[in-house]
Amino acid sequence: MNPLLEKFSTPFDTPPFDKIKNEHFLPAIQECIKAAKKDIAQIKKVGLPTFENTIVALDNAGERLNVVSSVFFNLNSAETNAEIQQLAQEISPLLTAYGNDILLDQELFNSIEQVYVQKEDLNLSPEQMTLLEKTYKTFIRNGANLSDEQKTKLREIDRSLSKLSLTFGENVLAETNKYELLIADESKIDGLPEDIREAAAQTAEEKGKGGKWMFTLAFPSYIPFMTYIKDRELRKELFIAYNTKACKGDNLDNKNNIQEMLRLKNERANLLGYKSHADFVLEERMAKSASKVMVFLEELLEKAKPKAQEEIRELTAFAFELDGLEKLEKWDLAFYAEKLKKKKYAIDDELLRPYFKLENVVNGVFQTAEILFGIKLKQNNKIPKYHPDVTTYEVLDANNNHVAVFYADFFPRPGKRTGAWMTSYRGQKTVNGNEIRPHVSIVCNFTKPTKTKPSLLTFNEVTTLFHEFGHALHGMLAKGNYESLTGTSVYWDFVELPSQILENWCYEKECLDLFAKHYETGEKIPEDLVLKIKQASNFHQGYQTVRQISLGLLDMAFHGTDPEKIKDIPEFEMEIMSKTKLLPEVEGTMMSTSFSHIFQGGYAAGYYSYKWAEVLDADAFELFLEKGVFDKETAKSFHENILAAGGTEHPSILYKRFRGREPQPEALLKRAGLVS
């Protein structure tokens, strides 16, 4: 029996990870595609197409396929291996072909169009109208009106893109996993905090290299190394290793993959009647056009760059004064920035870490959600999990009604890609009056506990946890009828609002008092430290803003330029990023070949959305600051109009309903210290 094809006899119909084996995936996907095609055939058999028998039926079609493919691709990100990666190369084209079979089905599109043309006479609710318009547009935007020959071409392009995206990600993961820096001389790790030392010794021991210290390109290893190691040559070595991932001209090099992806995306956009992939993507975004995105980024750069240049001048002078360093390089930035921050604000990560024990921070974010939105998270060990590191929870409302299932996966391992993300195994929807509640997960790469110390987070890791949990709340508190419109199924430049706004609570004493307690003494974080966190929150904000803008500009350039004009990926990257350059270039290093957000994730022509959503989150949080950070009425409005509403209406309508007006950028500029 294939557990993926049986009714899940698990709590809340969660995936039976304890029974699923790799060999179950391919036959399950194949069987689910057959079943989904029967759903589609049934829709086409109806006599007169209506909103319910066509549009709603299509939204509900292939339900089991959605669940099984979610399980598979989430594992491919969080707990992969060679066998899963090989399966992905087989499964991904099957799903792409299935998607094309639906979107390019002329008979099905004719039925949708029949409903669409009479939309004004159907007396639809705003949510129903959104679903109808989104369904119709999705078909139009993905080739419904193409000729048979063009449809065949589109299928070929999509199949190739799905495989190239997988290969890109596999290469980045392989590069991350294969690099190891082993240090035997303890004097070489001078400056490294004791808990990071212990973690490095533990890593070495796990690899059979006891008595030494091992460092990798995983964030919890790389970031502290670059921040604290005094040996400049070692910092340079690790920096170059990190920034030459997948660009060494070997079998893991991604330059050709990028070139081919850009060519295919552009060809696809042209085929569908768009000038570029960016134009195709931005048609369905709040920003609406590439020109508007560029104006937004350029205006922000104009305000941020002078501040960033001033910060780099100050840091260069500080490094010279401290160590006689005449030229600041990229591998010096984190090291001297941490020292300068400590000098200016009497604060650093090591001073704060003892107050941020992982378990306490997790409880803190849960309590924050409970106070704001009335939900409780209760650990449930009966829910199967895909790795021992994962913790499973049931989410309940104030009346103990079931809200969602939540998976938390916090530590790095070889089978997990780097970074942090939220994902879901099942979305929220209502079918025949029965509400189906979501299964949501966050995956991070935090500092692991050692033999003598628990996992103690940096403040940046604390804000990352709040950020990802903000995404999770968007998924868990979804309240709608149609899965394609609930949770995080919103415009891409709106999706970061719930995540980024939650980070703001990390700077508030009222919130920090819930969880920021010294892991040994239980003492609450002192008032003066909270004040210093706030004072230091603008430290190097100019630099950080320019860096984010540089990535947004690179993304827009890649996806808004004719690929024929991009002859050399490293040269193109250097040219685009020259206007945001603050430190000398390091020969041989580049960003593009490991820029997974835009070449593996869903951020192609959308990376600007982080800064776009910052305008929204700063503006939205100002209302909380006016009313009180735990104000019930404001939280209720945010819950109903943003979190629960998902994509049921246009985001600008939802935002105005919450805020009472359009967003204003002044709050972001003020918060970042870019204007006084």
Task: Please spell the DSSP secondary structure of 451-509, one letter per residue.
Answer: SSS--B--HHHHHHHHHHHHHHHHHHT---S-GGGSTT-S-TTTTTHHHHHHHGGGG-H
Helix (H) or strand (E) segment spanning residue 440: strand 439-443
Comparing CA positions, the residue from 545, 539, 538, 546 lying closest to residue 582 is 546
Give the DSSP letter of residue 448: P
213-215/434-436 β-pairing: unpaired
Phi and psi torsions of 436, nearest 5°: -105, 120
3-class SS letters over 181-214: EEECCHHHHCCCCHHHHHHHHHHHHHCCCCCCEE
Residue given tokens 């006891």 in the structure block? 210
**Cα distance from N-terminal residue to C-terminal residue, the chain:** 66
b (16+ CB within 10 A) / e for 214-239: bbbbbbbbbbbbbbbbebeebbeebb
Give the DSSP letter of residue 580: G
600: amino acid identity, one letter: Q
Comparing CA positions, the residue from 493, 471, 467, 460 lying closest to residue 423 is 471
Comparing CA positions, the residue from 612, 372, 538 lying closest to residue 470 is 372
Query: Could you tell me how far CA 411 lies from the centroid of its own chain?
Result: 16
Comparing CA positions, the residue from 10, 3, 8 lying closest to residue 382 is 10
**Rounded-to-integer distance, Cα 239 and Cα 217, Å:** 9
**Rounded-to-integer distance, Cα 405 and Cα 383, Å:** 9
Residue given tokens 């300068």 in the structure block? 340
Query: Could you tell me how far CA 263 lies from the centroid of its own chain?
Result: 25
Comparing CA positions, the residue from 104, 173, 179 lying closest to residue 143 is 104
Candidates 170, 468, 496, 573; catalytic one: 468
Determine whether 47 is exposed, middle or buried from the number of CB atoms within 10 Å of its CB (0-12, 13-18, 19+): exposed
Known catalytic membership, residue 468: yes
**Rounded-to-integer distance, Cα 394 and Cα 381, Å:** 10
Q: How many CB atoms lie within 10 A of CB 60?
A: 17
Catalytic site positions = 468
